[in-house]
């Protein structure tokens, strides 16, 4: 008997033919997809059966850029971006023990799971590349936390921005010490279960006095990635910086770059010629302060995928929300509502994202691929009438409409129940660690809410 049968739903396969099967089924055995087709043509029995009538069955979503740590600081500052970035620097270097990273990882991974994200990238820190790479225990705690939830994770680790040493908990940490921590994390966690790692480094812009130091930093990160057959990531590219990254030899099909706003012609050409992938974060603050030219990148042949940049400071990891935002973002800029039809943005967080992360065996419901599958409820009032399933999933659904989540053939959520977890306990653990972090950092005043009643601009 087959391990799992998901039957009776509308199957959006994302396969090469982009088949949509109205009364379809997916058969799973050994963690991989064995058959996809009309329900009448597949077996009617399995060890486990999910009745998908009234649901869409589709590949698990992929969030190609998010931040570990942010889940416990996401509300701080009441929208003051600079104060929030400063808090990142304080918390991630002086007020975040391993227990913080474990609790945050569990909370963020659970959020992703319940939103139908089966694979996510998690930068181990944030702000301006403030990495928690002074000791391996912090990254290990993140990996342990995500593993307890069960989704796939790509933890990005890299050097902080020069100069060195960097102060962590009152001690100076050199670039060599950071590299040793990263090497230990790769050795212990890359390819272990559903955990992968990638390397990263800060985006170089105009710090020419440190050019040689930055070049060596980039070379070190590429060597570490190559040693483990891993990807290379950078966060926060904007006008001119991608062309500079090419000068440093950082661009290749194994590189994926986030934000990418206000790009020059040379930047776009650098991506297209190198095969580097772009992660568009349409709901991020960077997308307000600059413009990501998604349509021009796509027309140039660049693989553009979606990321949430979550979970802070004002957005969740709900990829349905970010798909909708990506469409409106491009349409408003060009005053053209024909841009980025729903199927195109769905590709950007399934098959195209799998390609960007070099994970060819996920992202579509095809025979032989890993069984990462979600179902989406199509019976709620906001999802009626029952036609045009791709349009409804992208334009009307939210993460709260996800009902079932399967990773590697394992049912992690069924009818919004996560059977292997006490969801309330995960949230309670996160609350305790947040309170401890606020006390240790002296930043409790940053969670005194200023809602902005009656004002049109934050003061």
CATH of the domain at 55: 2.30.40.10
Last residue of a domain, one of 413, 428, 446: 413
Shared domain check, 262 and 236: yes
Last residue of a domain, one of 396, 413, 430: 413
Shared domain check, 408 and 352: no
Residue 188: inside a domain = yes
- pTM score above 0.85: yes
Residue 442: inside a domain = no
Shared domain check, 93 and 234: yes
Shared domain check, 152 and 105: yes
Shared domain check, 127 and 11: no
Residue 270: inside a domain = yes
Residue 371: inside a domain = yes
Tokens of residue 188, six digits = 């212990």
Residue 444: inside a domain = no
Residue 168: inside a domain = yes
Shared domain check, 120 and 43: no
Shared domain check, 258 and 116: yes
Last residue of a domain, one of 315, 340, 356: 356
CATH number assigned to the domain comprising residue 248: 3.20.20.140
Residue 378 sits in which domain range?
4-60+363-413
Residue 156: inside a domain = yes
- Residue 1 has what pLDDT? 52
pLDDT tens for the chain, 459 residues: list them: 579 999 999 999 999 999 999 999 999 999 999 999 999 999 999 999 999 999 999 999 999 999 999 999 988 888 788 888 899 999 999 999 999 999 999 999 999 999 999 999 999 998 778 999 999 999 999 999 999 999 999 999 999 998 899 999 989 999 999 999 999 999 999 999 999 999 999 998 877 778 888 899 999 999 999 999 999 999 999 999 999 999 999 999 999 999 999 999 999 999 999 999 999 999 999 999 999 999 999 999 999 999 999 987 889 999 999 999 999 999 999 999 999 999 999 999 999 999 999 999 999 999 999 999 999 999 999 999 989 999 999 999 999 999 999 999 999 999 999 999 999 999 999 999 999 999 999 999 999 988 889 999 887
Shared domain check, 232 and 257: yes
Tokens of residue 127, six digits = 């702000």
Shared domain check, 273 and 159: yes
Residue 152: inside a domain = yes
Shared domain check, 115 and 20: no
SS (H, E, C) the chain: CCCEEEEEEEEECCCCCCCEEEEEEEEEECCEEEEEEEHHHCCCCCCEEEECCCEEEEECEEECCCEECHHHCCCCCCCCHHHHHHHHHHHHHHCCCHHHHHHHHHHHHHHHHHCCEEEEEEEEEECCCEECCCCHHHHHHHHHHHHHHCCEEEEEEECCCCCCCEEECCEEECHHHHHHHHHHHHHHHCCECCEEEEEECCCCCCCHHHHHHHHHHHHHHHHHHHHCCCCEEEECCECCHHHHHHHCCCCCCCEEEECCECCCHHHHHHHHHHCCEEEECCCCCHHHHCCCCHHHHHHCCCCEEECCCCCCCCCCCCHHHHHHHHHHHHHHHHCCCCCCCHHHHHHHCCHHHHHHCCCCCCCCCCCCCECCEEEEECCCHHHCCCCCHHHHHHHHCCHHHEEEEEECCEEEEECCECCCCCHHHHHHHHHHHHHHHHHHHCCHHHHCCCCCCCCCCCC
Shared domain check, 92 and 194: yes
Structurally, the chain folds into a number of domains equal to: 2
Shared domain check, 247 and 121: yes
């Amino acid at each position: 008997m087959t391990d799992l049968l998901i039957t009776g739903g509308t199957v959006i396969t994302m396969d090469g033919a982009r088949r949509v099967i109205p009364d379809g089924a997916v058969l799973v055995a050994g963690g991989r997809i064995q058959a996809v087709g009309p329900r009448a043509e597949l077996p009617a029995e399995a060890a486990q059966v999910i009745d998908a009538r009234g649901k869409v069955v589709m590949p698990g979503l992929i969030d190609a850029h998010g931040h570990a740590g942010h889940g416990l600081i996401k509300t701080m500052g009441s929208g003051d971006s600079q104060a929030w970035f400063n808090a990142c620097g304080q918390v991630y270097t002086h007020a975040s023990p391993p227990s913080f990273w474990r609790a945050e990882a569990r909370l963020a991974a659970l959020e992703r799971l319940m939103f139908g994200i089966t694979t996510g990238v998690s930068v181990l820190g944030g702000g301006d590349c403030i990495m928690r790479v002074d000791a391996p225990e912090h990254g290990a705690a993140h990996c342990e936390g995500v593993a307890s939830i069960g989704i796939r994770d790509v933890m990005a680790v890299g050097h902080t921005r020069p100069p060195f040493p960097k102060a962590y908990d009152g001690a100076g940490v050199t670039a060599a010490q950071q590299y040793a921590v990263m090497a230990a994390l790769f050795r212990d966690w890359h390819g272990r279960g559903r955990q992968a790692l990638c390397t990263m480094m800060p985006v170089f812009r105009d710090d020419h006095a440190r050019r040689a130091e930055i070049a060596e930093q980039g070379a070190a990160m590429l060597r570490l990635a190559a040693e483990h057959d891993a990807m290379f990531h950078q966060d926060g590219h904007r006008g001119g910086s991608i062309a500079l990254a090419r000068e440093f030899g950082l661009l290749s099909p194994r590189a994926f770059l986030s934000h990418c706003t206000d790009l020059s012609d040379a930047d776009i050409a650098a991506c297209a010629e190198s095969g580097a992938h772009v992660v568009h974060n349409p709901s991020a603050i960077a997308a307000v302060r600059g413009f990501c030219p998604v349509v021009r990148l796509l027309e140039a042949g660049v693989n553009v995928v979606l990321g949430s940049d979550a979970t802070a400071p004002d957005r969740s990891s709900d990829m349905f929300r970010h798909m909708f935002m990506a469409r409106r973002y491009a349409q408003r800029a060009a005053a053209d509502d024909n841009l980025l039809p729903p199927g195109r943005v769905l590709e950007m967080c399934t098959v195209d994202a799998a390609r960007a992360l070099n994970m060819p065996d996920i992202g579509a419901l095809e025979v032989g691929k890993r069984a990462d599958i979600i179902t989406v409820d199509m019976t709620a009032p906001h999802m009626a009438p029952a036609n045009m399933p791709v349009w409804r999933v992208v334009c009307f659904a939210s993460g709260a409409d996800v009902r079932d989540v399967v990773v590697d053939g394992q049912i992690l959520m069924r009818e919004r129940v996560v059977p292997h977890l006490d969801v309330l306990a995960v949230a309670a653990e996160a609350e305790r660690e947040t309170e401890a972090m606020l006390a240790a950092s002296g930043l409790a005043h940053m969670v005194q809410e200023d809602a902005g009643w009656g004002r049109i601009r934050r003061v």
